[in-house]
Amino acid sequence: MMDPLPEQMRAAGAALLAALDEPARARAAYRFDDTAARRWLEYRPRPRPGVCLDDLDRAGRKAAHRLLATALSPAAYAQAMAIVALEEVLDRAEGWRQGRHSGDYWVAVFGDPERDDRWGWRLEGHHLSVSMTVADDRVSPAPIFFGANPATVRHAGHPVSRPLGVEEDLARALLDAMGPAARAAAIIADEAPGDIVSATRPRVPGPLEPLGVPADRLGPTGRALLNQLVAVYLDRLPPELALREADRLDGRELHFAWAGPTRPGQRHYYRVQGDDLLLEYDNTADDGNHVHTVLRRPASDFGDDVLAAHHKEAPH
């Protein structure tokens, strides 16, 4: 029988640190209470905490990928690897001027996965950021950011690469299923914002306004499609975490909001909000061929939920 997720994650985190030589381990390892480094989200090609995978040997890189795989479902891991590979595609499209490369991803471990009750880790680079926190053998996921540039690569009119296509298609199907009143409530602006609204902020301060259309104003088809859209984001997580998050949201009110034109190929944005849930999607750069998506839990990002429970059960 496969080990429970917290044990898998601890074992993978410990194996990663053991696979690194001393200089690499020094760059990868942080104290858990280094809040500035731990509460970090950066999906642009900028400097970031941690050690670069390109600086590791094969064993170190494989250990980092095995740690990442504990946090993602098989389908989401495939999405993540497609996102990483797009760095080379983008570099070619830019005439090799930026020096982008698929090894430019960074891993950081916060605390000691073998000994500490509280620890966490993150693997991050351009268009990919996955943060996990573990406290008392409870895993808290988020933020999880997936992007893609180019969002779609086509040949002879057919897509050959579109790693975040389902996230767009289901949202469009949801819009199409709405009646006029619900659609009017859902479309909050004629133009999309320039990026996801939560951006790289370490905290999301409350619900983003306007909320859009509530799920109870949708018909049965619309509600089913909204639930499917939420499931696409939750299913980035391993099954036990996805099921836990779905159970937590069951019966809670969800809102859907769209900004920008509704015709495919134009710049657009949407978000879904619920109890401790924020999903954002934008396709607003490069003439609507550059996607950002994020799964956030505004009250629980970076393990705030499991850390609060830890302090309640074992006050320091």
Q: Which domain holds residue 70?
A: 5-149
- Residue 113 shares a structural domain with residue 230: no
User: Exposed, middle or buried by CB within 10 Å (0-12, 13-18, 19+), for 286?
Assistant: middle
In a domain, 238, yes or no: yes
Give domain status of residue 57, yes or no. Answer: yes
DSSP letter at 265 equals T
Q: What is the pLDDT of residue 2?
A: 57
Looking at the structure of the chain, the number of domains it has is 2
Residue 292 lies in a domain: yes
Give 101's Cβ-side CA count (13 Å radius): 8
The residue out of 98, 126, 149 marking a domain boundary is 149
Residues 79 and 215 in one domain: no
For residues 190 and 298, membership in a common domain is answered with yes
In a domain, 310, yes or no: no
Are residues 227 and 295 both part of a single domain?
yes
Domain boundary among 149, 175, 203: 149
Q: Which two tokens stand for residue 37?
A: 């480094």
Contact 148, 306 (CB under 8 A): no
Q: Are residues 145 and 168 in the same domain?
A: no
Q: What is the mean pLDDT of the chain?
A: 96
Question: Of 149, 181, 216, which residue is a domain's last?
Answer: 149
- Cα–Cα distance between 276 and 273 in angstroms, integer? 8
Those residues whose C-beta lies under 8 Å from the C-beta of residue 163, and which sit 6 or more positions away, are 79, 82, 83, 86, 146, 148
> What pLDDT is recorded for position 316?
53
Give pLDDT tens digits for 125-135.
Answer: 999 999 999 99
Residue 101 tokens, joined: 């490369």
Does residue 249 lie in a domain region? yes
Do residue 95 and residue 223 come from a single domain?
A: no
Indicate if the pLDDT at residue 1 is higher than 50.
no
Give 250-290 pLDDT, tens digit per residue: 989 999 999 999 999 999 999 999 999 999 999 998 888 99
Q: In terms of Cα–Cα distance, which of 88, 106, 121 is closest to 13?
A: 121
The string of pLDDT tens digits covering residues 144-202 is 999 999 999 999 999 999 999 999 999 999 999 999 999 999 999 999 999 999 999 99
315: confidence class by pLDDT, cuts 50, 70, 90: low
**266 in any annotated domain:** yes
What pTM was computed for the model? 0.96
Euclidean distance between the first and the last CA atom of the chain, given in angstroms as a whole number: 35
- Indicate whether 108 and 174 sit together in one domain: no
- The answer to whether residues 140 and 175 belong to one domain is no
One domain for residues 298 and 230: yes
- pLDDT for residue 313: 74
Q: How far apart are CA 267 and CA 112, in angstroms?
A: 44
**Structural domain contains residue 121:** yes
Considering the domain architecture, whether residues 35 and 128 belong to the same structural domain is answered as yes
Clarify whether residues 93 and 38 are in a common domain.
yes
Residues 21-76 pLDDT 10s: 999 999 999 999 999 999 999 999 999 999 999 999 999 999 999 999 999 999 99
3-state secondary structure of 256: strand
Q: Is 81 within the bounds of a domain?
A: yes
Are 10 and 109 contained in the same domain? yes
Mean pLDDT of 247-252: 92
Q: How many C-beta neighbours within 10 Å does residue 293 have?
A: 25
